[in-house]
Amino acid sequence: MTKRLASQTKPGMTTGGAGHKPKRWIAGAAAVVIGLVIGTSLLVSGVLSADGPAATVLTTSPAAPPPPAEGWYDLTAYQAVESGDGHETVPSISIGVGEEPFSRRIRGSAVSPVAQPANFRTWSTAGRCTRLSVWIGKDAASSQADGVGQFVIRADEKDATTRQASTADAPQHVEVDISDVDRLTLLDVRTGRDAANTWGTPRVFCSAPPGRTV
């Protein structure tokens, strides 16, 4: 005959009390996680509110103008620091017996002796320029057809080169090193009976413009 116990329990099992503690601990941890997620969501939604999304504003200072490009500059497009009254810029003209006209050239049409030159211009290259390129000769359309013109390229106070030309000559190309020159002068000599002198497409190779634009 066996005795029946009033209450039987299996090992590891409880009917209440301490047996519910693990479940309550898991539920509490889950509540904390949910709370953190909700709080983070509310914070993000507050930042991205009707006032607009919060963004980092990057402020930049105005861009500096680009440095002048190194290259060829047409001398007739820039103001001379000194000039006589016999030089004029013409849009296009032919030199001597040359067939092709030159654009942007200088014509020296005044009487211009060595002692009192009137046909000249001086530019301030101030060491920014390294080369001068120009074509010289007589104006093919000049009303006079006589005489030999003298063309002088002056570097500061010294004559860098001197050329001569008549209306029967072809255009002469001249290049001069002006690396250490502060003032560049184009000077031509002419009598009243001579054909006008011309400088075809005078230009300089510089790191900055040779003066203010005309």
- Tell me the per-residue pLDDT of 110-168, one tens digit each, with 9 for 90 and over: 999 988 999 999 999 998 999 999 999 999 999 888 899 999 999 999 999 999 999 99
Classify residue 178: in a domain, yes or no. yes
The model scores a pTM over 0.75: no
CATH of the domain at 185: 2.60.120.1060
Classify residue 65: in a domain, yes or no. no
Closest to 202 in 3D by CA, of 210, 194, 212, 190 = 210
For 29-68, what is each residue's pLDDT tens digit? 445 444 444 444 433 344 444 454 544 544 555 666 666 6
Classify residue 122: in a domain, yes or no. yes
Where in the sequence is the domain holding 153, given as residue range(s)? 71-206
Classify residue 29: in a domain, yes or no. no
Distance from C-alpha of 25 to C-alpha of 23, rounded to nearest angstrom: 5
Classify residue 23: in a domain, yes or no. no
Classify residue 106: in a domain, yes or no. yes
Classify residue 156: in a domain, yes or no. yes
Classify residue 193: in a domain, yes or no. yes
Domains: count for the chain? 1
